[in-house]
Amino acid sequence: MAGWLIMVGSAFALGLVVQRLSELHTLENLQRIDRMLAEPPGSELGISADAMLTALRTLLMVTAGCATAAGILGYHVLRRSRSARLAVTVLAVPLFLAGLATNGFITSVVAASAAILWLQPARSWFDGKPPPERRTAPTPASAGPPVPTAFSTHLTGAPAAPMPSPVIAGAPARPPAVLWACVLTWVCTAFVTVGLVASAVALAVSPDLMLDEVHKDNPDLAAQGVSDDLLLVATYVMIAGLVLWCVSAAGLAVLVLRRVDWARIVLVVSAATCAVFCLVGSAVGAFVLVAPLLASVFVVVMLVRADTRPWFERRELPR
């Protein structure tokens, strides 16, 4: 139940993000923001309507990224992945906080579902153990001896029925889809990293070009207290964060090629999050993001195929 609530709730959260983004610059929403900032407690914040719109857009983008990752992790939770349970629990905190921009109900359901995964009997299921016995009323003497169960015979040392063991192949061949996904990850991250480093160098050589373009698009930045130095620092931090993301994805691809299952899950989440950001960017006119969007979707599809999952789980490949 918790896994399905995480997946379905994340899908609804994505739908709410798309709806809020489409209504962000409507006249009704702008009037609502103006009224909120004109009256306490909004008037005490000391921010403009443009700053509020930027903050809402950022929260919505964070919600979209976290919801995408949580939806994929919810699928792996149903497959008894303990690393997916831990990751979706960590994501539940920023998803709940950023999801307040979408009224917060759906994201709170996802966060509560992540918490349920750590309660009984889910915790015992993840650990591969039988759930703890429930305390019941003592059996009357006239009712006779209790009927032995599989769990009670296990405690008393009596022989129990053997558990079926999974079929493990000796050394199954690596599926070609895994190699293609890793190669595409390395190629895309290399191109993006080179482009980001080149942008940082160009920004360091001639920062006026970027600043003039930013001020042309947003002439009120200086009045809002956003200085040129702050813009440069924010741009460098963003470039550094994206480069770190690319390097991490390339490292995950190495682990995926070495048959590490948790690395496959994290790489799928990373590629899906990148696809969401590229999709939103393409929708607002940044058509250069179409290529990484297609590459990210390809990586996700290749790593969740039916002929790749058993190879990571060291089970016999389907025939």
Mean pLDDT of 194-213: 82
Instruction: Compute the average pLDDT of residues 73-91.
Output: 85
DSSP code string of the chain: -HHHHHHHHHHHHHHHHHHHHHTTTSHHHHHHHHHHHHSTTGGGS---HHHHHHHHHHHHHHHHHHHHHHHHHHHHHTTT-HHHHHHHHHHHHHHHHHGGGGTSHHHHHHHHHHHHTTSTTHHHHHHT-PPPPPP-PPPPGGG-SPPP-HHHHHHHT---PPPPPPP--SSPPPPHHHHHHHHHHHHHHHHHHHHHHHHHHHHHH-HHHHHHHHHHH-TTTTTTT--HHHHHHHHHHHHHHHHHHHHHHHHHHHHHHTT-HHHHHHHHHHHHHHHHHHHHHHHTT-GGGHHHHHHHHHHHHHHSSTTTHHHHTT-PPP-
Higher pLDDT, 208 or 46: 208
Q: What is the pLDDT of residue 251?
A: 92
Q: What is the average per-residue pLDDT within 137-152?
A: 51
Average pLDDT (249-264) is: 89
pLDDT of residue 152: 47
Q: Is the pLDDT of residue 243 over 70?
A: yes
pLDDT at 156 over 70: no
pLDDT tens digits for 60-76? 888 888 888 888 888 88
Query: Is the per-residue pLDDT at 257 higher than 80?
Result: yes
Q: Is the pLDDT of residue 185 over 90?
A: yes
pLDDT band (50, 70, 90) for residue 45: low
Task: Please state whether the predicted TM-score (pTM) of the whole model is above 0.75.
Answer: no
The predicted pLDDT at position 135 comes to 58
- Give the model's confidence band at 165: pLDDT under 50 very low, under 70 low, under 90 confident, else very high: very low
